[in-house]
Structures are given as structure tokens and as C-alpha cells.
């Protein structure tokens, strides 16, 4: 019986996807490589090759495969979206923006890709172009509250800006959704602060955070159980025999949101041997997949050596899509990774740990003022809950300070902005690197930045945000009461 070539291709393709879902990415990629030779005109094959290449850390293959898929079917949104992700990771700003234009052209009435293009312009440091596009979208879609919040985040709003009136009208619209009410009140709070109407800032913040808490309720009991379980699992853990660490070596930069971790990462990432990974979230995710999720994490002193080897291998693989092969160090500023510093210290002998502290009142103010991605940082909507989370963080860091014998350093944001050169040199030394003068000029580096602090990292170090909480001391009273007598330094 003669075999149908198309049926053979489909069978092999399906098997490759099954292997990928089962975690055998290398074998799946090998099958797709063969299909790319036998059926080079099928865009689905090149699309999947690109996705697997990302998981394997093969950036060149990822780019060449997705570019081939785009050349074969540039009218498929999923292919264009994957191409945007691939070229974003490579920092190819002009290519990304061209791909966004192709995606927008498929349906010019859809807001999402246009808003995402505006956000990408911000991450690329092209703020004027982003503002122009967002204002254009606002005129076309005056009832889309998220557009106002997106723009307000990255510009200084003037008192005579007509956007303020438009936002007020939208805020009082009877059919505004709960999500829209959240977005518009965050935007109005920023507008009131920019225009020096500080007495009105917190009335909008309270509405925004109340609405967000109703949409995404907090679960403090679950949060506490996770902390307790994960820390207990690492108790009395010593260095893992024959541990080799990852390639590239990791420099963990940890702190609470809005504490200055982005600034610290950018200083370290300006070193010629370092690539910035941002909030990769690979370490905690990998630890949970190997040793148990959250509160269910198993006691690590009872785990076989093979489990730690598996952890390191999986983490090493997960890093590849973030790393630059030419640089031996990679920063990771994932927020929650401080929970597993004991595991990371034991399993990764070439890792470094840098913790960033800031006045808790400034952290609380900045957290409460900012919108985080839906469902993340749910404690951020309540000032007393923010106090509890900051206290918990400090307690855990105190534990690691007493437990980890080396490779552990701490920096205060206020010290860094007051004496950038001295503190930056200390940071670079703590990362195990020799000093380079360019680390003081991090704001000139360029590249892609994905963080709420993206506007600040394009500027030199400044001190204006230190002690900002004093302008809102009365409004922050719920936080201050919950903080109690605990020292702030």
C-alpha cells in the first residue's frame, strides 16, 4: 500500500506536538526539523519550530523559523504574534513595530494590537511616539478607560490637558464597567498628582483599589501558608554535593515591588558581562514543578540528589530563552524568588543574591498608587495588607541573612540614590564582577525594559522619589497603624 505523503507529515507533526507537551522538547524539535526539509512550504511547521526553539534557548533558530512562517502566511495573527515575541526578545525594535503594523492592518478596528504597539514603543524608550498613538486611540475610543491609564502611567499630565476632563466624564458614565472604573480612577489619581491636586489623589486611589479588590479578592491565608510551607521545606538544607549551577550564572536581584529592583538590575546589567533577564519567574516555577507547589513543597533534606540535578537542568534550560550566549551572567529580578533563596544557595554555587530595601512607607505608597497585571499582587489594594506583606518580606530576608554564609548582599534604595558611585561599585562587587565605569551610565544603555519603572530607567539616578510618603502621611495612616512600632530602616 502506498503511503500518503501528506498523511505522513501530519502524523509526524502531531507526534512532535505530543512530545513537546510531554516535555521532550529536543526530540519534538528534531522531528519538526525533518519536516521543515520535507514540507518547507507549510507555515505551521516553522511556527512550531520557532516556539520550540524559544524553549530550547536557540534564538537564531527561533528567529529564522518564525520569519519563514511570516513569509509563508503573514495574514495569520498567531504567527505575527509569535514573531513579535521573538523579535522583542532579540531587541529588534524596528522589526517588532513593523510586525505590529502588519497585525493592525489585518483589522484596523481592533484596539488591542494598537495599544500593545503603544506599550512596546514605551519599552523601547520611544515615549513621544507612544503618547501620540495613545492619544489618537483615545480620540477614536473615548470610552476605553484602560487607554487613559496606559498613557497616564508614562507622561506628566499638565493642568490644562483636555484628557483630564475626558477622564472625569468617563468616570461618571453610568455604564462604565467595574474594570473601566478601576482603570480610570488610577489614571485620575496620577493626573491629580501631576497637577499638584494632592488632596484628590487618594479619593481616586481608594476607588481604584476597592474596585480591583472586588474583581480580584485577596487570600492572605493562602499567602501565609505558602510562605510557611516553602520555608519549612528548606530548613537545615546544606550545599548539594557536586552542584554545578547554571550557565549563565544567575544574579538574583530581589525586593518588593516599587523598591528599586529595576534600578539595581539596570546598573548591574550595564556591565559588559551581564545580560538583564527581568522578571523571568523561572526559578520559583521550576522549584515548584520539581519539589512541590507552594505549601505542599516537600522537605528538601529528604530529597535525593537526582532531584536537585533535575531542578538545575530544568532551570538551566528555562534560562536559555532569556540569556545572551555571549554573556556569562544573567540577572533575575523575579519578585517572589526570595522564598527559595535557601534552595538556590544550596543548588547553584555560582549564583549571587542581592536584596534591595526601601523605606516601607514609600513602598506602600507606590504599590497603592500603581495598577499591577490582573490578579497579581492582590494584597496591593489594601494598605494594612501591604504592611503585612512588607513585614513578612523583611522577616524572611532576616532569616536568609542569618542562614546563608556567603554570596548574599543588601542595598538600601535611599543610599543608592544619595551616593550612586559608591553604592554602584559595591553592587558590582557583590555580583562578583570587576567595576566598569559604564555601570553608572545605565540609562544610556537602551534595549527593552518591561516594568512599571520603564520611564525612570531611561534617566540618571534621581532622589525626588525618596520620602515621597510625607506628602500623604494622613492618607497612609491605615498603613502606619498596621506597621506599628516596627522600625522603618
**What confidence score (pLDDT) does residue 228 get?**
97
CA distances from 272 to 276, 353, 439 (A): 11, 19, 9
Evaluate the CA torsion angle 438, 270, 126, 461 in order and state its sign: negative
**What confidence score (pLDDT) does residue 1 get?**
43
The structure's pTM equals 0.86
Residues of each domain in the chain carrying CATH 3.40.50.300: 221-483
Please say whether the beta carbons of 358 and 305 come within 8 A: no
**What confidence score (pLDDT) does residue 449 get?**
52
Asked if CATH classification 3.20.20.100 holds for the domain at 221-483, the reply, yes or no, is: no
Residues of each domain in the chain carrying CATH 1.25.40.10: 1-106
**What confidence score (pLDDT) does residue 6 get?**
78
Question: How open is the CA angle 41-44-49, to the nearest 5 degrees?
Answer: 100
**What confidence score (pLDDT) does residue 62 get?**
93
Question: Tens of pLDDT along 219-235?
Answer: 999 999 999 999 999 99
**CATH code, residues 1-106:** 1.25.40.10
Which residues of the chain are under the pLDDT cut of 50? 1-2, 450, 452-453, 455, 457-458
**What confidence score (pLDDT) does residue 297 get?**
97
**CATH code, residues 111-215:** 1.25.40
**What confidence score (pLDDT) does residue 459 get?**
52
Amino acid at each position: 500500500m502506498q503511503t500518503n505523503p501528506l498523511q505522513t507529515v501530519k502524523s509526524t507533526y502531531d507526534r512532535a506536538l505530543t512530545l513537546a507537551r510531554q516535555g521532550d522538547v529536543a526530540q519534538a524539535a528534531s522531528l519538526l526539523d525533518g519536516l521543515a526539509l520535507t514540507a518547507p512550504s507549510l507555515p505551521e511547521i516553522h511556527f512550531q519550530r520557532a516556539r520550540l526553539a524559544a524553549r530550547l534557548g536557540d534564538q537564531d533558530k527561533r528567529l529564522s523559523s518564525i520569519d519563514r512562517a511570516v513569509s509563508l502566511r503573514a495574514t495569520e495573527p498567531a504567527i505575527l504574534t509569535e514573531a513579535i515575541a521573538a523579535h522583542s526578545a532579540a531587541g529588534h525594535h524596528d522589526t517588532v513595530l513593523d510586525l505590529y503594523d502588519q497585525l493592525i492592518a489585518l483589522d484596523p478596528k481592533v484596539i488591542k494590537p494598537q495599544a500593545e504597539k503603544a506599550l512596546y514603543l514605551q519599552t523601547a524608550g520611544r515615549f513621544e511616539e507612544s503618547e501620540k498613538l495613545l492619544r489618537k486611540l483615545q480620540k477614536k475610543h473615548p470610552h476605553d478607560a484602560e487607554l487613559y491609564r496606559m498613557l497616564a502611567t508614562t507622561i506628566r499630565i499638565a493642568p490644562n490637558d483636555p484628557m483630564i476632563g475626558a477622564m472625569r466624564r468617563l468616570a461618571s458614565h453610568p455604564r462604565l464597567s467595574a474594570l473601566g472604573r478601576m482603570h480610570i480612577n488610577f489614571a485620575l489619581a496620577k493626573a491629580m498628582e501631576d497637577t499638584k491636586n494632592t488632596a484628590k489623589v487618594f479619593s481616586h486611589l481608594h476607588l481604584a483599589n476597592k474596585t480591583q479588590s472586588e474583581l480580584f479578592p485577596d487570600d492572605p491565608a493562602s499567602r501565609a501558608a505558602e510562605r510557611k510551607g516553602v520555608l519549612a521545606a528548606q530548613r537545615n538544607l546544606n550545599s548539594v554535593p557536586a552542584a554545578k549551577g547554571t550557565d549563565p550564572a544567575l544574579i538574583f536581584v530581589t525586593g518588593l515591588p516599587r523598591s528599586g529592583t529595576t534600578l539595581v538590575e539596570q546598573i548591574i546589567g550595564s556591565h559588559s558581562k551581564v545580560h538583564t533577564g527581568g522578571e523571568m519567574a523561572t526559578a520559583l516555577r521550576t522549584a515548584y514543578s520539581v519539589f512541590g507547589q507552594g505549601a505542599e513543597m516537600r522537605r528538601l533534606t529528604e530529597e535525593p540528589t537526582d532531584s536537585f540535578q533535575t531542578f538545575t537542568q530544568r532551570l538551566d534550560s528555562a534560562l536559555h530563552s532569556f540569556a545572551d550566549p555571549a554573556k556569562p551572567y544573567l540577572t533575575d529580578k523575579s519578585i517572589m524568588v526570595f522564598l527559595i533563596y535557601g534552595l538556590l544557595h544550596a543548588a547553584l554555587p555560582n549564583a549571587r543574591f542581592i536584596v534591595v530595601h526601601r523605606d516601607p512607607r514609600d513602598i506602600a505608597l507606590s504599590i497603592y498608587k500603581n495598577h499591577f497585571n490582573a490578579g497579581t499582587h492582590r494584597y496591593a489594594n489594601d494598605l494594612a495588607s501591604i504592611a503585612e506583606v512588607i513585614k513578612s518580606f523583611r522577616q524572611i530576608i532576616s532569616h536568609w541573612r542569618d542562614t546563608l554564609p556567603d554570596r548574599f548582599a543588601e542595598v538600601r534604595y535611599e543610599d543608592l540614590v544619595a551616593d550612586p558611585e559608591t553604592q554602584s561599585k559595591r553592587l558590582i562587587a557583590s555580583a562578583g564582577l570587576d567595576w566598569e565605569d559604564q555601570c553608572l551610565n545605565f540609562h544610556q544603555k537602551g534595549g527593552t525594559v518591561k516594568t512599571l519603572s520603564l520611564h525612570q530607567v531611561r534617566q540618571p539616578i534621581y532622589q525626588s522619589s525618596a520620602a515621597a510618603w510625607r506628602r500623604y502621611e494622613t492618607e497612609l495612616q491605615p498603613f502606619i497603624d498596621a506597621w506599628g512600632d516596627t522600625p522603618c530602616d
